[in-house]
Structure 1
Amino acid sequence: MSADRTIFTTTEMLARLVAFDTTSRLPDLPLIVWVEAYLGAHGLTATRSRGPQDGKVNLHAIIGPQTDGGIGFAGHVDTVPVDGQAWTRDPFTLHADHGRLYARGAADMKGFVASMLAAVPDFIALRAPHPIHLMLTFDEEITCDGARVLAEDLQARDVRPALCVVGEPTMMTPVIAHKGRLAVRVSVVGQPGHSSAPGDGVNALHAMGEALAWISAEARRLAHAGRRVEGFDPPHTTIQAGVAQGGTILNIIPEQASFEMEWRTVPGDDAHAELDRFRRFLGETIEPWMQSRFPQTGFSVEVLTELPPLSLADDAPLAHRVRQVTGANTSGRVSYGTEAGIYQSAGIASIVCGPGDIAQAHRPDEWIAESQLVACDRFLRAMAARPFAA
């Protein structure tokens, strides 16, 4: 796919981006190579940073002074799969219909990335005295490790933006806070035996059931007595188990079981402190009996995904400027997570604001309104033209 053209409308750019299947299980390198060529045609040099997997690559480019400071526009280029979804059109070919643009990633979040890249000629023409950072990442949909790698790379090269807009779909309304997320896999090792002699084994499913009952009770406790942060729905930290499995056939005491669970924490709550409470329950309540029977039995916990919460003050200059540019009267708070919390943790004042509706994300026939891209085009140019103190 050639990048010999240097001028694209946002819709044209989006058509090229969605043509790359960047489902998170696949490398994003082909798309990154194309973007590098496009930026190179404008005289820009981009820097890659890599994850541990082959073909998983971030891209960072600076327009203007090659220093820290200025403003960053950040988006991930990976998408969720289309497998098993009832698409009525090719998910990797942009299709326009009555003001909507359909394709996998159109809303989440290649629409924002397309707007950002299509704006490159105008960003260059600004000749701004401050850096304008373009930040593309991998694996947001599964681990967010791309943003962590990029944040470390920016710090190592001393080229961190002072401010960052993460363009997840918010219908172009500013989001100044979101919950953190900690997802873990819990594995249970029991002792097998025949179900007619339960005393000769340790039932891993029963042990898992006790742990799941604790999670259910903890969910009620958090709902009734947890920290309240108004503006979130719900306004408290939540906990749930979403996947569970174990056992083979009914007449064998299950030797193995596992489940996955998550916390979504409001700002001010510590997900690792919550995890420690859970570990203590396992170690003090369930494991002693299991291991008194068979010492090799018990629980293990593996962290799958961790996202810190985002919390930008409502009166922060970045929040004020985004409201001013978008015309929004208020700033929102959401319960899902984004890479913005990672960038904030790295010392970059961050906000979430991008085109499209999160309700369209991850669904078959995903779409974004053309009017949202038009609004995003205006927004990016206005933000780039006048950064300000964080």
Structure 2
Amino acid sequence: MSKPISQPWIERLCGFDTTSRDSNLALIDHVAEYLASHGVASQKIYDATGGKANLYATIGPRERGGIILSGHTDVVPVDGQDWSSDPFRVVERAGRLYGRGTSDMKSFIAIALALLPEMLARPLRVPLHFAFSYDEEIGCLGVHGIVDFIKTGGPRPALAIVGEPTEMQVVNAHKSVCACNTLVHGLEAHSSATHQGVNAIQYAAEMIAELNRLQRVYQQPENTESRFEPPYTTITVGQIHGGTARNILAKECHFQWDVRAVRPEHDLEVVDAFNRFVAQQMLPAMRRIHAGAAVNTDIVAHVPPFLPPADNKAEQLALRLAGQNNTYAVSYGTEAGIFGLADIPTVVCGPGNIREAHKPDEYIELSQVAAGEDFMRRLIDFCAGDGALDFLAAR
């Protein structure tokens, strides 16, 4: 197989450490300079700190809505993972490109950037909009700024393609994600005097056990949706921290958990049930020993579900471009639900496999990169074709 035209861009983008806790500006500035070198203006949409930014750019006629190509620039941490090579230096081995972000999801962005000259060489009747965001991995935070910009910045896009790794299959539905942080405040005491203190870790353990019980409830047949894998709402605890020493009752314990729901109402059902358990079972017991004991749970991020509308132009176009007849549902969250809430028809379709995301030695198959390039070239052909405007305008 010949080297994909986008491979140098994959190597370049993955060379930027854009872990969500850090700035992505070096990558955004690099992309903006590349676009400018081809005569394409771009808009940086900063977060409140000025340390991160989205990038939005239009290729083709600016007076028309066009098609959004959506991709996030941030990646998850590599801390504590056993990589066989530098995660921020792409290595090719046995038909695969290894590196953080190769699958999730810098390869999609790289394909769009690598094919920019081909986009510019064609008289596009329908514009393509690059929409590259920050902080998708911690709750799809950055894309809200893109949507706000779209609402005030010109013609409304006709549809959006979110290039998350689906192995180029067409995805038209995903679960919601409700991310919560719980902080348990107890009272320190010597571990030999348990009656004099409130051990925040042990009470947190009971709360986590209640989340496990709720998980079993949502695995019952009446709460399942067969399109998803697994077909039920999931409740997981991802991090827990607390305590000072083995012989001190812990003053504080903090744990992070999330709900990935097959039905939109499950999010708040779970949170409300958890809060009732805390109020009715945990706090009275804790406050009998220490009146100042407290439990605070905050919803720190909410990714809405992606639900397929009855007539989704994005889905129809993606099926045509991918040469497929079937659509799929996935359990991970994407920015598609947020575009959907803005009434922009959306589909998820991109190169790579989500199974490789977030792992050590993340990789993408070169064959997937090639398939992504083929898809993008067919999209360019569509945008330059005579029937594009009629297709997008039809109801």
Shared fold, TM over 0.5:
yes
Residues 1:190 and 1:151: Cα distance change in structure 2 (over 3 Å): same
Match of 2:77 in 1: 81
Q: What displacement does 1:292 show?
A: 4.4
CA distance in 2, matches of 1:364, 1:128: 40
Q: Does 1:312 align with 2:331?
A: no
Rounded Cα–Cα distance in structure 2 between residues aligned with 1:193 and 1:87:
42
Identity percentage over the alignment?
38
Partner of 1:247: 243
Distance in 2 (alpha carbons) for counterparts of 1:99 and 1:213: 44
| Residue in 2 that maps onto 1:211 | 207
Flag the 1:317–1:80 CA change in 2: closer, same or farther, 3 A.
same
Q: Displacement, 1:120?
A: 1.4
One-letter amino acid matched to 1:280: R
Question: CA 1:287–1:231 in 2, change beyond 3 Å: closer, same or farther?
Answer: same
Shift of residue 287, structure 1, vs aligned partner: 1.5
Q: 1:259 to 1:46 in 2, by over 3 A?
A: same
Q: Name the SS for the 1:282 alignment partner.
A: helix
Aligned equivalents of 1:39 and 1:207: distance in 2?
A: 54
- For structure 1, which segment, 46-55 or 289-298, has the greater mean C-alpha deviation from structure 2 after superposition? 289-298
Q: Of 342, 352, 375, which aligns to 1:356?
A: 352
Which piece of structure 1 moves more, 287-296 or 331-340?
Answer: 287-296
**Separation in structure 2 between the aligned mates of residue 87 and residue 297 of structure 1, nearest angstrom:** 42
Q: Which residue of 1 aligns with 2:232?
A: 236
AA aligned opposite 2:49: Q
What is residue 29 of structure 1 aligned with on the other side?
25
In the superposition, relative to structure 1, how do residues 277 and 93 fare at CA in structure 2: closer, same or farther (>3 Å)?
A: same
Change (3 A) 1:201 1:347: same
Counterpart Cα distance in 2 of 1:203 and 1:366? 39
Partner SS state of residue 379, structure 2: helix
Match of 1:179 in 2: 175
Instruction: Quote the residue 1:4 is aligned against.
Output: none
State the partner residue of 2:197.
201
1:199 is paired with a residue whose SS is helix
Mapped to 2, the partners of 1:164 and 1:247 lie a distance apart of 47
Q: Which 4+ residue blocks in structure 1 deviate beyond 6 angstroms?
A: none
Post-superposition Cα deviations, 1:171-230, rounded to whole Å, max 9, x if no partner, equal 100111111111111111112233444333333233223312211110110001553222
Structure 1 vs Structure 2 CA RMSD: 2.3
Q: Which residue of 2 aligns with 1:69?
A: 65
CA deviation after TM superposition for structure 1 residue 42, in Å: 1.6
For residue 380 of structure 1, what is the aligned residue in structure 2?
376
**Residue type matched to 1:296 in 2?**
G
**Contact 1:226–1:237, Cα closer than 8 Å, also in 2:** no
Greater shift in the superposed pair: 90-99 or 255-264: 90-99
The aligned counterpart of 1:57 is: 53
The normalised TM-score by structure 2 is 0.89
Q: Aligned-pair distance for 1:314?
A: 7.2
**Amino acid of the structure 2 residue aligned with 1:142:** I
Are the equivalent residues in 2 in contact too, given 1:195–1:251 (CA < 8 A)?
yes
Q: Find the aligned partners of 1:253 and 1:327 in 2 and give their Cα distance.
A: 61
3-state DSSP of counterpart to 1:62:
strand
Q: Distance in 1 between matches of 2:140 and 2:242?
A: 29
Contact 1:182-1:305 within 8 A present in 2 as well: yes
Rounded Cα–Cα distance in structure 1 between residues aligned with 2:107 and 2:150: 24
2:329 counterpart of 1:333: yes
Pair 1:40 & 2:36 matched: yes
Deviation at 1:350, TM superposition (A): 1.3
- Aligned residue number for residue 272 of structure 1: 268
**Cα distance, 1:383 vs. partner?**
2.6
| C-alpha spacing 1:374/1:195, structure 2 compared with 1 (3 Å) | closer
How far apart are 1:121 and its partner, in Å? 2.0
Question: Per-residue deviation at 1:67?
Answer: 4.2
Please tell me the residue identity of whatever aligns with 1:295.
A
In structure 1, how many angstroms separate the alpha carbons of the residues matched to 2:244 and 2:170?
49
Q: Which residue of 2 aligns with 1:191?
A: 187
CA distance in 2, matches of 1:275, 1:226: 19
The CA deviation at 1:163 is 0.8
- Distance in 2, matches of 1:314 and 1:10, equals 35
Which letter maps to 2:96?
R
Aligned-residue offset at 1:95: 2.8
Equivalence for 1:156: 152
**C-alpha deviation, 1:33, in angstroms:** 1.2
Structure 2 counterpart of 1:117? 113
Distance in 2, Cα, partners of 1:71 & 1:104: 27
Cα distance change on mapping 1:382 and 1:80 into 2, 3 Å: same
Contact 2:165–2:352, Cα closer than 8 Å, also in 1: yes
Structure 1 unaligned residues grouped into runs of 5+: 1-7
Would the alpha carbon gap of residues 230 and 11 (structure 1) be closer, same or farther in structure 2, given more than 3 Å must change? same
- Alignment of 1:143 with 2:139, yes or no, is yes
Question: What is the deviation of 1:379?
Answer: 1.2
Q: Which residue of 1 aligns with 2:285?
A: 289
Q: Are positions 1:94 and 2:90 aligned together? A: yes
Provide the C-alpha distance between the structure 1 equivalents of 2:262 and 2:356, rounded to a whole number of angstroms: 24
| Secondary structure of residue in 1 paired with 2:75 | coil
Which whole-Å deviations, capped at 9, do the CAs of 1:125-150 have from their partners, x for residues lacking one? 33223331111111222232111222
The aligned counterpart of 1:104 is 100
Q: For structure 2, which runs of at least 5 residues remain unmatched after alignment?
A: none
